[in-house]
């Protein structure tokens, strides 16, 4: 569709320039015929010269029309992209400022139009100046006009609107981790999701690293961002409309925390240090490690589960297994059963910052222990009545 519109625009410009070229060619032919002493550089006769000059003008117009259309299309795409990245408060302030400027122009236009010669130009200048001042004033007052921006800071009754209405800022680690894509696909990432441009630059630097592992991690992060944009459309946006967070000497984490403060947003991360720093500065944090631990099934002592021993544990006679979600299971007396799938009985569950650990022992060990305890409690058949010794 864009090519058809561009071709039509170029043909229209070519037609206009051909018409102008035909008029100038008539003047050129008349000048040549009226001055016999003038030796023209180009002249093929009256009609032939006009036709050639008109065709050249049409070709020039077609070329210029194509270039102008491409430039206008690129500028419009950049404007639309910037408009999509612009926060909702800025959009509302921009529209309100335009209406205020046009309203002021309408009130003063009747007075300026009484001036005969300079009335219309003064009205045009007043409209430009009024709209510009209105937009600047409204953008500077967007923080104070809380009633016009519902959910921007706090609701009118003074209650916090909650994390769902806050913009979400993704950090580098959570993008490379990859689980954020599944979380967004499942519908748990409501509200605007932003990727700051300094985070994107850090991903580019990691993807261009000479270290193979870092390069693969950076490329994985870029692939995940592309996948999220394709799946959710404009839900994921690259954010670069900030002022305080643009200090070049600050590290990425400091910029991210400052930007979250400016936008009253929440940081989505799996970085333990960034989590602590953001919480100390009062910035809400959505840690996907905490989310992963929260959705893991609850295991109680005494329950049975089937696991496969994959390696030795740190303590003697211990074996280590893993569940499908990555939870570590430490099995007592499992060192000699590496590579074996067996049923264990859970003895305890330990919750740590890094995740959950489950401790247990093989089910047959519990049966053996019960049998041994039963044999100990069973009376000796060779002995006589209680309190008496057998007689010889």
> What is the strand order of the sheet 304-308 is part of?
304-308, 341-351, 356-362, 328-332, 318-322, 311-312
346 burial type by CB count under 10 A (0-12 exposed, 13-18 middle, 19+ buried): middle
First to last CA, the chain: 114
Question: E-strand spans in the chain?
Answer: 168-170, 193-196, 236-239, 266-269, 285-287, 304-308, 311-312, 318-322, 328-332, 341-351, 356-362
Would you state the pLDDT for residue 359?
93
Question: Residue 174 is encoded by which pair of tokens?
Answer: 């959570």
What is the structure's pLDDT at 324? 79
pLDDT value of residue 387: 45
Q: How far apart are CA 375 and CA 369, in angstroms?
A: 10
User: DSSP secondary-structure letter at 302?
Assistant: T
SS3 state at 296: coil
Residues 6+ apart with CB under 8 A from 298: none
Location of structure tokens 């009118």: 156
Question: What is the structure's pLDDT at 151?
Answer: 44
Q: What is the largest CA-CA distance in the chain?
A: 162
Element (H, E) at 62: helix 46-85
Distance of CA 376 to the CA centre of its chain: 66
Question: Phi and psi (nearest 5°) for 169?
Answer: -110, 120
How do beta strands 304-308 and 341-351 pair? antiparallel
- CB neighbourhood size of 203 (10 A): 22
Q: What is the CA angle 383-385-391, rounded to 5? A: 65
- What pLDDT, on a 0 to 100 scale, did the predictor assign at position 392? 37
Q: Which of 369, 379, 327, 334 is nearest to 349 (CA)?
A: 327
* 314 in Cβ contact with 334 (< 8 Å): no
* Burial of residue 379 (number of CB atoms within 10 Å: 0-12, 13-18, 19+): exposed
> Which pLDDT does position 310 carry in this prediction?
92
What pLDDT, on a 0 to 100 scale, did the predictor assign at position 346? Answer: 92
Rg (C-alpha) for the chain, rounded Å, is 38
Q: Encoding tokens for residue 175? A: 């993008």
Q: Rounded to whole angstroms, how far apart are CA atoms 128 and 373? A: 94
| Beta pairing, strands 341-351 & 356-362 | antiparallel
pLDDT, position 249: 55
H/E run at residue 76 = helix 46-85
Strands 266-269 and 285-287: parallel
Domains, the chain, ranges and CATH? 2-139 (no CATH), 163-294 (3.40.50.1010), 304-374 (2.40.50)
Quote the pLDDT of residue 360: 92
Q: Which of 82, 257, 88 minimizes the C-alpha distance to 165?
A: 88
Nearest of 281, 283, 275, 301 to residue 354 by alpha carbon: 275
Helix H or strand E segment including 20 = helix 2-34
pLDDT tens sequence for the chain (392 residues):
667 777 787 888 888 888 887 777 777 677 666 666 655 565 666 677 777 777 888 888 888 888 887 887 777 777 776 666 676 677 777 888 888 888 888 888 888 777 766 677 788 888 888 888 888 888 777 655 544 444 444 444 444 445 556 788 899 988 998 888 888 888 777 778 888 888 888 889 998 988 888 889 889 988 988 888 877 554 678 877 665 445 555 688 888 888 888 888 889 998 888 888 888 888 888 888 888 777 777 788 888 889 999 999 888 889 999 987 778 899 998 888 888 899 999 999 887 666 778 999 998 775 555 555 455 555 554 444 444 444 43
Which pTM does this prediction carry? 0.47
Pairing of strands 356-362, 328-332: parallel
């Amino acid at each position: 569709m864009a090519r058809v519109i561009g071709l039509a625009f170029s043909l229209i410009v070519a037609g206009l320039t051909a018409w102008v070229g035909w008029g100038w060619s008539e003047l050129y032919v008349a000048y040549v015929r009226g001055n016999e002493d003038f030796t023209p550089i180009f002249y093929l006769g009256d009609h032939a010269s006009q036709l050639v000059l008109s065709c050249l003008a049409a070709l020039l117009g077609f070329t210029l029309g194509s270039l102008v259309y491409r430039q206008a299309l690129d500028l419009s795409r950049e404007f639309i992209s910037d408009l999509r990245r612009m926060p909702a408060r800025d959009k509302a302030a921009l529209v309100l400022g335009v209406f205020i400027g046009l309203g002021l122009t309408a009130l003063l236009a009747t007075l300026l139009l009484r001036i005969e010669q300079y009335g219309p130009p003064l009205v045009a200048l007043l409209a430009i100046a009024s709209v510009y001042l209105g937009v600047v004033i409204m953008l500077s007052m967007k923080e104070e006009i809380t009633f016009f921006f519902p959910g921007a800071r706090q609701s009118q009754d003074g209650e916090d609107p909650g994390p769902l209405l806050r913009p979400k800022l993704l950090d580098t680690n959570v993008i490379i981790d990859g689980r954020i894509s599944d979380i967004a696909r499942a519908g748990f990432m409501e509200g605007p999701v932003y990727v700051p441009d300094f985070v994107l630059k850090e991903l580019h630097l990691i993807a261009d690293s000479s270290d193979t592992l870092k390069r693969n991690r950076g490329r994985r992060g870029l692939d995940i961002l592309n996948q999220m944009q394709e799946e959710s459309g404009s839900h994921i946006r690259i954010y670069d409309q900030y002022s305080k967070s643009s200090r070049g000497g600050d590290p990425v984490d400091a910029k991210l925390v400052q930007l979250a403060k400016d936008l009253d947003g929440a940081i989505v991360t799996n970085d333990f240090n960034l989590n602590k720093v953001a919480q100390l500065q009062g910035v809400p944090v959505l840690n996907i490690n905490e989310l992963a631990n929260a959705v893991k099934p609850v295991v109680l002592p005494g329950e049975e589960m089937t696991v496969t021993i994959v390696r030795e544990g740190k303590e003697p006679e211990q074996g280590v297994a893993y569940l499908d979600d990555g939870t570590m299971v430490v099995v007592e007396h499992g060192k000699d059963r590496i590579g074996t799938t067996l049923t264990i009985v859970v003895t305890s569950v330990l919750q740590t910052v890094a995740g959950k650990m489950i401790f247990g022992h093989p089910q047959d060990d519990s049966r053996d222990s019960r049998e041994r305890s039963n044999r100990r409690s069973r009376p000796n058949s060779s002995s006589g009545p209680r309190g008496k010794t057998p007689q010889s």
